[in-house]
Structure 1
Amino acid sequence: MTCWLRINESTQSTLLVNISQRRVMTEQNTIEFIKLLDQASEKYCVKPGQIIRASVVSFDGDYAVVDAGLKSEAYVKKSEFKENAEGGALAIGSEYQFMVLDVGNNYGETSLSREKAVKFIVWESLAESFKNSSIVTGRILERVKGGFTVDVKGIKAFLPGSLVDVRPLLKDDAIQENQEFEFKIVKMDHRRNNLVVSRKSVLDAQTPKVDLSQRTDIAEGKQITGVVKNITDYGVFVDLGGVDGLLHITDISWKRLKHPSDMLKIGEEITVKVLHFEKEKNRVSLGLKQLAGDPWEDISQRYPVGSKVFGIVTNITDYGAFVELEEGIEGLVHVSEMSWTNKNIHPTKAVQLGDELEVMVLEVDAGRRRISLGLKQCQTNPWQQFSDRYSKGDHLDGVIKSIADFGVFVELESGIDGLIHLNDLSWVEVGEKVINDYSKGMEIKVIILNIDVKRERISLGHKQLVNDPIAEYLSNSRFDESVEAKVIEANSSRVILELENDIKAILKSSESKSDHYELGQTVPVYLVDRKNCFLVVSTQPAKVISDSLKHSQTEQDSTAMRRQAEEEPAQPTLGDIVRDQLDKRS
């Protein structure tokens, strides 16, 4: 059903105005609604890592409930507010900056961090300071290897020892924990949490620059007077009047110094020589020892090889001792030149620091500033004394000092040992069987086989004290006639037989098949050769008789090469060469 309504003109005008006004109000509301929607969208479109502001609305145990206008409130530990850079006590309604960790996770929770936000903000400010080379303030935490750790706005930074001051500091310099200083950042890496600062850069900027071009008294080769300002392990800094020069430890004295403080003290006035001058870098290198003459000049004339001099032991190492002959001149007594009899002696067993010694000059190398000295050359040579008293063939009594695989060492006199080689212990036994008959500390009679003074060796024999039973047996034997021998050992490697007078023999290897022989079996054999304490025999007459059997020789053939090696001259030591030269001069 359709209804019609008559309206007069005035009423119609009023209605049209109202409709128009409502249309305008609706458009305005729409605009305001869109603005509010945009603002809400901005709040809900935050991302992890973003910094936002939020207010504390309540507390729940150890947590502060924070409202950032997001989908849900966040819980932040109260302990994270300890480093509150904005100051003020933690209270409801307080507003802080937070870092977004997560928004609307699976449980609909929002995760924020006050601590990470503070660190992020601090790193941003430090990056700005690094970029602008501006000064930051830090507090010394503790001394560590290579420098100090510093607290810079809650970030732990490293201060290298070389960047603490404009000059190296002594160990007792006044850099204490909890002291505050100004620094400049010289290196930073936020990702690796690495921050390096320098106090030296701040001090350099505060120190007025000195124009050394106007200093006519500072020039290479000139002498200048200054005051010792600082002492380090490697040298001394000298105040030359507005500029510091470095006097390195090697340029303080010609003699060996353990530390610069052994010669110089802070505040002492000294005269030095300018060695190097770099105007561009304002660096001055100084020398003190250069004011005196070089003691190494004409060193060969003052200390000729073979001369004997006195000196003081200034340093002892594992390989020898350093002896000061005069100020700035030291020589080395190598451990091999300390004792005639003890080759493995430690230097501290022979000399002590401060001892005055008589030494012989063995070698002078002026170019390398080295002098080789000998201590034992100024003492009587016990090996020469022994050679003067005894000769080859003399019989002596000794005591076994040690036993080795190759023989027995026998002490003949104090510090004088001789060697009985394994082959010189017995005529009829070899190997471990012979060694087992001897023990350390046992008294033994020996005969001198050879004396080598240069090599400091004495060869001894024990079996030579009695006649050679094998030689005696051979002297009474015919080589073209067989002799009876009894099998006493038979195995896959050899067959051993026993002849008269307990003489042992070995069957030729080509005939020594153990399955052909039995223990106790008597076998006719012929003499073929001699090897050490065994005779070599064969079941067939020998076509060629060895020279050792023809001449009934003893073991001299088997040890001839060893005897020759013992008598060959050894490689002479430096001390031997010097001694020979002195003998020729006399």
Structure 2
Amino acid sequence: DGIEDGQLVAGTVVQVNNEYVFVDVGYKSEGRISRDEFASIPEVGEEVKVVIINKEGKGGQIVVSKKRADFKERTDELKAAAESRSPVLGKFEKVIKGGFEIDLGGEYKGFCPLSKADVVRVEEPETLIGVTDYFIIDKFHGGTKLKSVVNRREYLDQKIKENKEKFFSTVQIGDVVEGVVKSFTSFGAFIDLGGFDGLLHINDMSWGHVTRPKDFVKKGQVVQLRLINIDPETQKINLSLKHMQEDPWTTFEQKYNVGDTIKAPVTKITTFGAFIEIEPGIEGLAHISELSWTKRVNNPKEVLDVGDVVEAKVLGYDLDKKRVSLGLKQLEENPWDTIVERYPVGMTLSKPVVKITNSGAFVNLEEGIDGFLHIDDISWTKKVKNMSSFCAEGDVIDVVVIRVEPDNRRIRLGVKQLEGNPWQTLRHDYPKFSTISGVITNVTDFGVFVKVLGDIEGLISKYNLVGPDEEYTDEVLKKFNVGDPITAMVVECNPTTQKLSLSIKEMVKRSQQSEIAKYIHEDDDSDTFSLADMMRYKDEDREDN
């Protein structure tokens, strides 16, 4: 016979009906097992293990149990696993005080503390119910009562360590790896690669502009990513979603040329310009200076908003640095190209003052184009010290265009040029060594200022206030008073430097020379008449008188 009660034996399924499974265990009769004892009904010819309950049952029928066999087998498996700390399969059945009840199979139940259910803190225990995974048996009890203690966290830690070691030893930069989106940060997303994380940085999500990581991947999503950096020492892993596609810069020159016009959205605005997405992965910069020919743009936000779809011209590009220069103003006519024709030198205008500075005033000629009136171009003769004493913002003044510089985008205006230059008139009417009359306007320790024709002031230095035969003393200046009329000789008149120098000394000197010449010409018959003769003749005249 060789079969004893309580023995675990292997049998062969010989028949299956609606209620029972019949098993041949090599005894004189076949064992009959209720279908309820099977998790799945076996096929005829399949081998199953059973425990002999009674080899001589009622009517000589052998009694066997599949359920008892499963329990015995599971007992041996769990005992061996507990001794070797090998993982066993279990299922989270329900939440109980302090943790979970785990179905270990074969009627065995185990207790898993909440702290040992996962490698991370379990915030919602109910989410684990129904999960089947492996556990390490910390404490085994042979009965069916809930006394065995199991640990899933230790198994997960071991598995993560194995997965990580395998990952770092087998993968290379450029490989495609699969992971699950675990969590998000402001700078990207963490990807679970099997219990350890890799970083998908926001800059590596797309060749295009990325504002929100959640627009490209979702939590819990299974994604394939390319490995772009790995460091075994720091255990850092960098992944890329954009490198799953071709870099758009590689085909840039096939699509775009300098001078092309593109239509695209503004993605970012800075103080120095606006970034425009030509296509996903390629952004161009429209510098603040390329936004308008005429408007004074202090900040691009004054004329653009993020999301605006604009037309721009490709001004240049650098594939190595991945930069594209764009311009918006190039799609409009440059008003400075025709500025000389529209505002020729000599053109007179009546225009408003828009800004006052220490050195002059800006006068608006048309939208975006101002001319500059320098403080020195207000009067030929008067020294204007403060621009606000001549005009104020908003005043409409008469000006004349005196210089146009299209390349530098400058227009110079003048007020004094509306009239003739009195300095030129003075030099023409009163050449050097001519006498001129005026009125004393100021007496200083270095000379006398005299106002002459055209409100021009000239200076007679103190040493030129006396005749050529006289010596200057401080008493000389006391003879001159403000408001007194005076006549002197012009010795220098320079319209460029606006300098007028006068001299009484030179006037007296030349008057004397003229007198001498007069006497010389009156005595044409005397070939020996000299200066001494003339002086003696004059002395005789004085004695006679």
Q: Same fold, TM exceeding 0.5? A: yes
Counterparts of 1:326 and 1:509 in 2: how far apart (Å)? 80
Does structure 1 retain, via aligned residues, the 8 Å contact 2:357–2:387?
Answer: no
Where does 1:168-567 land on structure 2 (aligned, <5 Å)? 207-208=157-158, 209-211=160-162, 212-215=164-167, 218-279=171-232, 282-300=235-253, 302-432=255-385, 436-492=389-445, 495-508=448-461, 515=477, 517-527=480-490, 528-530=492-494, 532-533=497-498, 535-541=500-506
Deviation at 1:422, TM superposition (A): 1.9
Q: What letter matches 2:424 in structure 1?
A: A
Q: Cα deviation per residue 1:10-37 (whole Å; 9 max; x = unaligned)?
A: xxxxxxxxxxxxxxxxxxxxxxxxxxxx
| CA gap 1:206/1:521 in 2 versus in 1, 3 angstroms | farther
Deviation at 1:242, TM superposition (A): 3.5
Q: What letter matches 1:525 in structure 2?
A: A
Q: Which has the larger radius of gyration?
A: 2
Question: What is the total number of aligned residue pairs between the two structures?
Answer: 347
Q: Secondary structure at the match of 1:541?
A: helix
Does structure 1 retain, via aligned residues, the 8 Å contact 2:119–2:157?
Answer: no
Q: Cα deviation per residue 1:376-408 (whole Å; 9 max; x = unaligned)?
A: 122222223433433222222211222222222
Deviation at 1:266, TM superposition (A): 0.7
Deviation at 1:358, TM superposition (A): 1.3
Q: What letter matches 2:440 in structure 1?
A: V
Where does 1:120-199 land on structure 2 (aligned, <5 Å)? none
Q: What letter matches 2:441 in structure 1?
A: I
**Counterpart in the other structure of 1:557:** none
Does structure 2 retain, via aligned residues, the 8 Å contact 1:235–1:249?
Answer: yes
Counterparts of 1:422 and 1:440 in 2: how far apart (Å)? 15
**Counterpart in the other structure of 2:148:** none
Identity of aligned residues (%): 32
| CA gap 1:280/1:455 in 2 versus in 1, 3 angstroms | closer
| CA gap 1:349/1:487 in 2 versus in 1, 3 angstroms | same
Does structure 2 retain, via aligned residues, the 8 Å contact 1:234–1:259?
Answer: no
| CA gap 1:258/1:482 in 2 versus in 1, 3 angstroms | same
Structure 2: segments with no counterpart, 5+ residues: 1-117, 125-152, 466-473, 508-545
Counterparts of 1:275 and 1:303 in 2: how far apart (Å)? 29
Counterparts of 1:430 and 1:334 in 2: how far apart (Å)? 42
Deviation at 1:243, TM superposition (A): 3.1
Give the TM-score normalised by the residue count of structure 2.
0.57
Deviation at 1:213, TM superposition (A): 4.3
Counterparts of 2:389 and 2:438 in 1: how far apart (Å)? 28
Counterparts of 1:217 and 1:270 in 2: how far apart (Å)? 20
Give the TM-score normalised by the residue count of structure 1.
0.54
| CA gap 1:280/1:467 in 2 versus in 1, 3 angstroms | closer
